[in-house]
């Protein structure tokens, strides 16, 4: 299959206890695409400004990512600046300049409209819905979101959830959306709003996958050092959707494997800033780390 | 083998969103013993006051727990009063009356001194060390602790850690003890202080087991409703030590199973107040829930 992703491409200025990077390549569509590109063909729809370094586009293309849907507009690229402290769980945002992303109206190129797998990264739920309308007959649609939309566009978000197969969100978002501290109940509630499968990402505590009468709990890969958590969630989603697209089915067991692949990819991404670790990643490293999850989580 | 536990027997007044119980049976040695009694013989050393209801002792005996080490002193039983809010993760303590527990000097009856498995529940680390000196040749010693001792008796605690095989503590305690937010690093640091195995309990997020070059991550049993979390940690330890004692070995795979049994027992305990759920628990229910952990955590 092929995977369409619609989201942001950004320049991030990030500071963590391990250092600082200025205007490094980031954005939800970037992290997702790069991660998914290890599994299947990726078509990207996003927008950048005229200041966007051509090297970054070349990097995406080097992974076989189709960037015909990446529009370059007059103006500046979306820029986020933030910092993480020692616990690495929450970012402090210093500034968010939407720039050309402010008026992003995703138009899906004709050649992308037959994409079978669709990932609606975190953008306005009305735009996510607009994207869906442009896709001919997707076999699998997943979406992400964030606190900003849960708070400000709850109704649009609930409407969108009625149209997707998989909702992928983090622990805090799941609790905020359902107004429910218990994650098991939160997962069930979100499923009742539409998505047949729900993934709740819990950072260092792994991820939960909810299906019809089934739950799968995956640990995170044990890491002593997280250099930069930026993009971990989208990288997870890239591995997750990538594996489903490559496998060509959404059976429960394939879904469980997909959660592990998501965790594998996220664990690599946080080993360095921006895409620095992902740039050198090999398929063998992915396979090896995937196999490490067996003794980590299985018992006899 | 047989398991010796030294800890508290208490009367707890607990309030949760599901109700309130006054002076219900509680205490670390109680929850541990009751849980471990489903796996092997348990010898209990603790102290209660003359107000302690004989029915409670009868209940412990009904599970085959040897209570010859339970001393009844003039005075009142240790009483804890606290409450849990909707998130169920942290208790608010309303009062702690140590009463006869204040001067608890554990004396190990002669017939207990050959116990092969020892669980040093959360008491003053100097007393935990004193208990150890009285045991002839234990094959497996595990200890628990709490924030109060980490803060006030750090040196004694570190000395104790040098003498135990397994340290079982929760996430917050592991972080506080090691002054390290990263749990993987915290687990490794604690191992360097002595214990060959370290278990970090993470409540709803499961537990991590650390060994020599190995980590095992167990999920928590997914629960939509937690009625009363009191005693979950000691109930976990009871299932964990109970399985090791019954199995008669401390191989890595037995340890992994033990973590699952710990999670199974804790998941039952939180289904009702005090020991109310554990009182009706059957071995078949334990086996069935243990098996439920396979599809919950395995992938192919």
DSSP string, A86-116: TT-SSEEEEEEE-GGGGG------GGGTT-S
Structure tokens at A166: 């998989």
CA distance A56 to chain B (A): 33
Confidence of residue B24 (pLDDT cuts 50, 70, 90): very high
Structure tokens at B286: 């334990």
Q: Tell me whether residues A182 and B293 touch, CB distance under 8 A.
A: no
- Among A176, A180, A186, A217, the strongest candidate for a mutation testing the B interface, having the largest count of B CBs within 10 A, is A217
Structure tokens at B212: 């020599």
The set of residues, in sequence order, having a beta carbon less than 8 Å from that of A216 and lying 6+ positions away, is: A208, A209, A252, A255, A256, A259, B295, B296, B297, B299
- Whole-angstrom CA distances from A179 to A171, A176, B290 are 12, 5, 31
Instruction: Please give the Cα distance from A286 to A28 (Å, whole number).
Output: 21
Instruction: Please give the Cα distance from B170 to B147 (Å, whole number).
Output: 10
Instruction: Please give the Cα distance from B13 to B21 (Å, whole number).
Output: 6
Model confidence pLDDT, tens digit, residues B84-110: 987 777 789 999 999 999 999 999 999
CA distance A136 to chain B (A): 33
A-chain residues within 8 Å CB-CB of B219? 206, 217, 219
For the whole model, what pTM was predicted?
Answer: 0.95
**To which H or E segment does residue B45 belong?**
strand B41-49
DSSP class of residue A230 equals T
Regions of chain A where pLDDT drops below 50: none
Considering only the beta carbons, identify the residue of A215, A222, A295 that sits closest to B222.
A215
CB burial string A113-139: b at 16+ within 10 A, e below: eebbbbbbbbbbbebbbbbbebbeebe
**Under 8 Å between Cβ of A272 and A228:** yes
Nearest to A197 by CA among A175, A184, A214, A185: A214
Sign of the torsion angle spanned by Cα atoms A291, A295, A298, A300: positive
DSSP class of residue B173 equals H
pLDDT at position B105 is 93
Q: How confident is the prediction for chain B on average, in pLDDT?
A: 96
A-chain residues within 8 Å CB-CB of B214? 295
Instruction: Please give the Cα distance from A142 to A116 (Å, whole number).
Output: 11
pLDDT at position A271 is 97
What percent of chain A stands above pLDDT 90?
A: 97
Total beta-carbon pairs less than 8 A apart between chain A and chain B: 90
Q: Pairing relation of β-strands A207-210 and B91-97?
A: unpaired
The set of residues, in sequence order, having a beta carbon less than 8 Å from that of B54 and lying 6+ positions away, is: none
In this prediction, residues B177-197 reach a mean pLDDT of: 96
pLDDT at position A88 is 78
pLDDT at position A2 is 92
3-state secondary structure of B181: coil
> For residue B158, what are the β-bridge partners?
none
Confidence of residue B21 (pLDDT cuts 50, 70, 90): very high
Q: Tell me whether residues A253 and B300 touch, CB distance under 8 A.
A: yes
**Across chain A, where does the E strand assignment appear?**
2-6, 10-16, 19-26, 41-49, 66-73, 79-84, 91-97, 117-120, 140-143, 166-170, 197-201, 207-210, 215-218
CA distance B226 to chain A (A): 9
Task: Kindly list the strands in the beta sheet with B207-210, ordered across the sheet, starting from the edge strand earlier in the chain.
Answer: B66-73, B41-49, B2-6, B117-120, B140-143, B166-170, B197-201, B207-210, B215-218
CA distance B187 to chain A (A): 10
A-chain residues within 8 Å CB-CB of B216? 295-297, 299
**Under 8 Å between Cβ of A201 and A170:** yes
Model confidence pLDDT, tens digit, residues A53-103: 999 999 999 999 999 999 999 999 999 999 998 777 778 999 999 999 999
**To which H or E segment does residue B138 belong?**
none
Q: Tell me whether residues A217 and B296 touch, CB distance under 8 A.
A: yes
Q: Tell me whether residues B181 and A87 touch, CB distance under 8 A.
A: yes
3-state secondary structure of A84: strand
Torsion of CA A255, A256, A258, A263, to 10 degrees: 150
What percent of chain B stands above pLDDT 90?
A: 97
Apex CA B270: angle with CA B269 and CA B272, to 5°? 85
B-chain residues within 8 Å CB-CB of A223? 182, 184
Instruction: Please give the Cα distance from B9 to B106 (Å, whole number).
Output: 13
Q: Tell me whether residues B297 and A297 touch, CB distance under 8 A.
A: yes
């Amino acid at each position: 299959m092929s995977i369409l992703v619609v989201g942001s491409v950004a320049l991030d200025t990030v500071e963590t206890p391990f250092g600082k990077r200025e205007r490094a390549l980031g954005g939800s569509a970037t992290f997702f695409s790069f991660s998914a590109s290890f599994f299947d063909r990726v078509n990207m729809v996003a927008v950048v400004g005229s200041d966007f370094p051509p090297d970054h586009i070349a990097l995406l293309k080097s992974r076989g990512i189709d960037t015909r849907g990446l529009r370059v507009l007059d103006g500046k690229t979306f820029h986020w600046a933030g910092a993480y402290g020692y616990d690495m769980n929450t970012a402090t945002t210093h500034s968010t300049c939407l720039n050309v992303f402010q008026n992003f109206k995703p138009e899906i190129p004709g050649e992308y409209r037959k994409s079978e797998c669709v990932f609606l990264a975190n953008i306005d739920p009305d735009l996510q819905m607009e994207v869906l309308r442009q896709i001919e007959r997707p076999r699998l649609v997943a979406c992400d979101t964030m606190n900003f939309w849960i708070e400000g566009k709850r109704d649009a978000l609930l409407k969108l959830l009625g149209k997707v197969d998989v909702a992928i969100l983090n622990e805090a978002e799941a609790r905020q959306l359902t107004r429910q501290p218990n994650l098991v109940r939160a997962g069930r509630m979100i499923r009742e709003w539409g998505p047949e499968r729900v993934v709740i990402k819990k950072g260092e505590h792994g991820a939960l996958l909810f299906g019809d009468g089934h739950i799968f709990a995956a640990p995170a890969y044990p890491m002593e050092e997280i250099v930069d958590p930026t993009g971990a969630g989208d990288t997870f989603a890239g591995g997750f959707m990538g594996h489903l697209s490559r496998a060509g089915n959404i059976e429960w067991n394939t879904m469980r494997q997909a959660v592990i692949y998501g965790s594998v990819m996220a664990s690599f991404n946080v080993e360095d800033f921006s895409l620095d670790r992902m740039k050198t990643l090999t398929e063998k490293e992915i396979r090896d780390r995937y196999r490490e999850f067996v003794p980590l989580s299985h018992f006899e």
